[in-house]
Amino acid sequence: MPMGTYRVSPRGQGPRHSLWSLSESSVKEEEGEEDEGARRCLTPFEKLTTDMCRDEKTIKELTVGRRVGFYKVRGEIGAGTFSKVKLAFHALTKDKVAIKILDKTRLDLQAQRLLSREISTMESLQHPNVLRLYEVVETPSRLHLVLEYAGGGDLYTRITTEGRLHDALSKIVFAQVLSAMKHLHDNNIIHRDLKAENVLFTCQACVKVADFGFSTKVKSRSEILDTFCGSPPYAAPELFRDESYLGPAVDTWAMGVLLFFMVTGTMPFRADTVVRLRRCVLEGTYSLPTWVSAPCQRLIRGILRMDPSERCALDQMLGCEWLLPVEITRPLPPFQLNPRYLAEAGPGELEEEEEEVKAALEQLGITSEHIINNQGKGSRSPITGVYRILLHQGQRKRGVETPPMIRGVVKDPKRDSLRAYRSLRHTSKLCILA
């Protein structure tokens, strides 16, 4: 068995969908209004959709994959088992994005199911430490997931090239992952593939949990699961025992392995084959270097318990001494993923930031009429893509993704623990006093 992430074998065809419905209709409208068009300046949106149908260079770029929908594609920035990830720029907003490209001929039914789960999971989570999905673009041969760009690389590469994280950065990163995972579990979503490769840096200290390909939605947190997925070095003992398992406890174990890796730069359970790794994990013995602080050691030992029912729960982690006092990042106030409400709102009904997004769309030439005419496509609409990018730009400008800070010294861990836990509901920034 290979040591990498386990995935299903891809093959088969996905449903066909045309991105072109928008640009074709826009162009038809423009053809009918050619005289008028010649007289007035085209908006950026009109120019782009016209170029996509008429400009030879743009059409060639679309044909060879240098452009995907409204995005200009640049070099490769990563690769998964069945996907390539490329850097791209949105032609209208100029924002950088990451495009995960999947070959449809290699996606069998199971892989298609996982992909649609990945999309629905990302769309159901609204958290500053969860990677955003802007748009899905489908061409006859490929599927493209247009994602928020995380320019700081992944945690695995950071640690393997620069060594373990110092204690303060470990706290900041772990607290963000913890906050994101709590948001997932609160929404009955289990990640099932949490590992350092799937924690991406958007800046020096700000991280996003990514890759929801193995995620699953459970009816309740006590629902029993039985599909083994994820990466063996992060797999909980119950997975190696081929038992059915509880999703939250399996994610929690992976968080323990991740924390161990962050503070030591090594993995708690190491072996050169999966059989030996299984033995190691089932024995449950690992050694923590003495230079790892005592509160952090206690947290790791509390998480890496063989019995899932004894494993430290996320709420306990939030109040643990090592992370005290933590003002954990709050989930974002719910926002609309579909811009329709902008077109339907009456005067004075929109919040200030929503007015700003609407104005920015209009500046690009995207009117309420375009939004209404483009309904029913959800994330498969380029208008939705522009909207989500502009919305995210506005939220970032308002500081919802400000990196966490460490300040001061903890004097009264017990009192601060309670405050930290309460603050989960009342604060919007993550801030750790160490």
| Contacting range for ligand AMP; rule: CB under 6 A; set: 144-152, 235-243, 244-252, 399-407 | 144-152
Beta-carbon contacts of 211 under 8 Å, excluding residues fewer than 6 positions away, are 80, 118, 193, 197, 198
Beta-carbon contacts of 94 under 8 Å, excluding residues fewer than 6 positions away, are none
Nearer to ligand AMP, 23 or 202 (CB): 202
Binding residue (CB under 6 A) for ligand AMP from 70, 134, 149, 269: 149
- Two tokens, residue 88: 């791209």
Nearest approach in angstroms of CB 69 to ligand AMP is 17
Q: Which of 154, 167, 193, 416 is catalytic?
A: 193
Judged by CB under 6 A, the number of residues near ligand AMP is 18
Nearer to ligand AMP, 107 or 343 (CB): 107
| Residue nearest ligand AMP, Cβ-based | 78
Q: For the chain, how many residues are written?
A: 434
The torsion angle over the Cα atoms of residues 381, 382, 383 and 388, rounded to 10 degrees, is 100
Nearest approach in angstroms of CB 103 to ligand AMP is 13
Residue 210 interacts with ligand AMP (CB under 6 A)?
yes
Query: Residue 100 annotated as binding?
Result: yes
Query: Burial letters for 37-54: b for 16+ Cβ neighbours within 10 Å, e otherwise?
Result: eeeeeebebbebbbbbbe
Nearer to ligand AMP, 92 or 210 (CB): 210
- Two tokens, residue 267: 């993995």
Nearer to ligand AMP, 210 or 303 (CB): 210
- Map residue 207 onto helix, strand or coil: strand
- Two tokens, residue 10: 């891809």
Q: Are 316 and 302 in contact (CB under 8 A)?
A: yes
Pairing label, strands 216-217, 224-225: unpaired
Residue 211 interacts with ligand AMP (CB under 6 A)?
yes
Nearer to ligand AMP, 7 or 17 (CB): 7
Nearest approach in angstroms of CB 153 to ligand AMP is 6
Catalytic (active site) residue 251: no
How many secondary structure helices (H) and strands (E) does the chain include?
A: 17, 15
Residues 121-140 that bind ligand AMP (CB under 6 A): 131
Residue 154 interacts with ligand AMP (CB under 6 A)?
yes
Which residues are near ligand AMP by CB under 6 A?
77-80, 83, 85, 98, 100, 131, 147-150, 154, 197, 200, 210-211
Cite the annotated binding site by residue number: 100
Which residue numbers are catalytic?
Answer: 193
